[in-house]
Amino acid sequence: MRYLVILVLVLWATRLPALEVLPLHNDEGLHLTRAVEVWRGHPFWAISDGKIINHWPIAAFYPRNAPVFVARIATVLVSVPGLAAGLALARRFSGEPGMLLAGALWIGSPYLFFYERLAFSDAEAGALVVVAVWLAVRLADSGGGRDAVLTGLALAAAMLMKFTAAPFALAVALVVLANSRYPLSRRIVALMPVAGVVVAGFVIPLGYLLLRGGDVFSIAFGWLGGSSGQGGLALAGNMQRLWAQLTGFGTISWVALLVFGLALLAVRRGRSIVVAWALPLLLMMIFGREVLSRHYVVALPLALVLAGAGLALGMRRFKRPASRQVAVYAALVALALGVVPFALTAYADPAALPLPAEVRYEHVTSHSSGYGLSEAVASFPDTLERTELPVIGSMFPDSCRRANFYAVDGRTMICTDAPGVPAIKQALAEHGAVYVLADNTPLIGVDVNTLDAEAVRLAGYPRPGETEANASLVLWLVER
C-alpha cells in the first residue's frame, strides 16, 4: 500500500506541471469539441473513428472553462486506476519490488510520459487494458460472476475509449484460459459474462448511430488492412514505426529495462501473460494499415507493468538482500536519468523535446500541431482593431475549432471548409471587409491574391523552425 500511494503521487507530480504548454494537437481539439457537444445533448457526436467515450471524462469537467487543462487532466485521471491495477498485478508476480519497478517503468517511460499529458484516448485505453487484465487474473482465480462482470466492464471501457484496445480482448481470454485451475468448460462459461458485458456496452452507441443515420465506424474500420497505403506489407512498416518510437524519445535505458524485464518474466514465471500481451500487439501490426505512434500506446502500460514484475523476479537471483537493493536502485537511477531531462524540457519548451520524426511533425511543425494557431487566436484582442468585422479561419475546420479554444474575450473565428472562399466572399458582401487567418497557403488556406479584393498582411505566426516572414499562418485584412 505504501508503494501504491507514493507512485500515484509521483505520477501526478510528473504529469501535472505545465500541462498546457504544448499547444493543442488537431485530435485533441476534436476531442474537446466532442466534449462540448455532450453538453448540447450529443454524447456520441462524430464517433466514426472508433473513439466513443473518450470525450466523456473531458465533458465531466465542463470544457468551456480552462479547456486545454481540462482535456489533458482527464487523461491523467484515467491513468491512475490503470497504474493502481498494474501495481497490484506486478505485486502478484514479484511482490513489493515488482510494484516499485513496474511503477518506476510506467512513470519513467518518456514515450508514455508524452502521451499521458495529451488529450488522446490511447493512453486512457492502455490504462484500462491494464485494469481489464488485472481483473482477468482475478477471474482466473475465482471463476466468479462478479469478477467476470468487472472484467467485462473494464474491457468494454477500454474498447469504447478506442477501438485499438479491441485486440486485448484476446489477452483477457488467454489469461483466463491459461491460468485457471478449474476445468476448461468452466473457464469458457466464466468468459461468457465478459463477452456479454462488452457487447452490451456497444448496444447504445450503435443504436444511436443507426437511429441518426450516421455511418457505423467507417473511419475506424478503414484503418484495418494487411497492406499499407503504398502497396507494401503493413507489418514491415508498422515494425519500423514501433522501433522509431522505442528509440526516438531521447533515451533507451527504459527500453532496455522493458525488453529485459519482459524476457525475464517469460522465462521465470509469466510466459502465458507475456504471450497474452504480445499477441494482441502483433495482431495490431499485422492488420493495422498504418499503426501510428499514439496507437502503440494502448499496449505500452501493460508491457511496462509486466517488465517491472520480470525485473524484480530476475533480481531474486542475487542471494544477498543488499545486492538486490543495489540492483533496484540502479534501475531507478537509470530511469530517472532518462526521464527527468525529458520532463524538464517538456515543462519549459516542448518544441525542443527529442521526439521521433513522425511525432515531431504531428505535434510541432505541421498544421496538425497547435503552434502558431494558439498564438494567433490569443492575440486577436490586440491585432483586430475593427471589432465589428468577422474573422474567417481559412484552414481545415478541425484546426479552426481547436484554435477557438484559445480565444480571449469571445473573439473567435468562423470555421468553414478550407479554404473558405465562399464564406470570405459572403463576409465581404455583408461587411465590406473581413479578417482572414490563412494556414499553409495555398495548400490549405486561401491565396488572398486570388480574391477580387485588396489584402493587407497584418501578422505572421511562425511554427518552430519558421520566421515571421515565412510563417505558415498569416493574418490578413481583406477589403473590397
Q: Please check whether residue 155 is in contact with residue 212, taking contact to mean a CB–CB distance below 8 angstroms.
A: no
Q: What percent of the chain has pLDDT over 70?
A: 97
What average pLDDT does this structure show over 177-188? 90
Model confidence over 195-251: pLDDT tens digits?
999 999 999 988 888 887 767 777 777 777 655 544 456 888 899 999 999 999 999
What average pLDDT does this structure show over 267-277? 89
Mean of all residue pLDDT scores within the chain: 92
Q: Please check whether residue 295 is in contact with residue 122, taking contact to mean a CB–CB distance below 8 angstroms.
A: yes
What's residue 212's pLDDT? 78
Nearest-5° Cα angle at 314, 182 to 130: 50
What's residue 225's pLDDT? 64
Q: Please check whether residue 86 is in contact with residue 302, taking contact to mean a CB–CB distance below 8 angstroms.
A: yes
Q: Please check whether residue 409 is in contact with residue 360, taking contact to mean a CB–CB distance below 8 angstroms.
A: no
Nearest to 337 by CA among 3, 112, 104: 104
Cα first-last separation, the chain: 70
- Measured between alpha carbons, how far is 16 from 405 in angstroms, rounded to an integer? 20
What's residue 264's pLDDT? 95
What average pLDDT does this structure show over 82-97? 95
What's residue 46's pLDDT? 81
What's residue 330's pLDDT? 94
What's residue 231's pLDDT? 43
State the pTM of this model. 0.93
Nearest to 475 by CA among 462, 454, 461: 461
Residue entry with cell 532496455: 256
What's residue 284's pLDDT? 92
475's enclosing H/E stretch is strand 473-479
Q: Please check whether residue 454 is in contact with residue 478, taking contact to mean a CB–CB distance below 8 angstroms.
A: yes
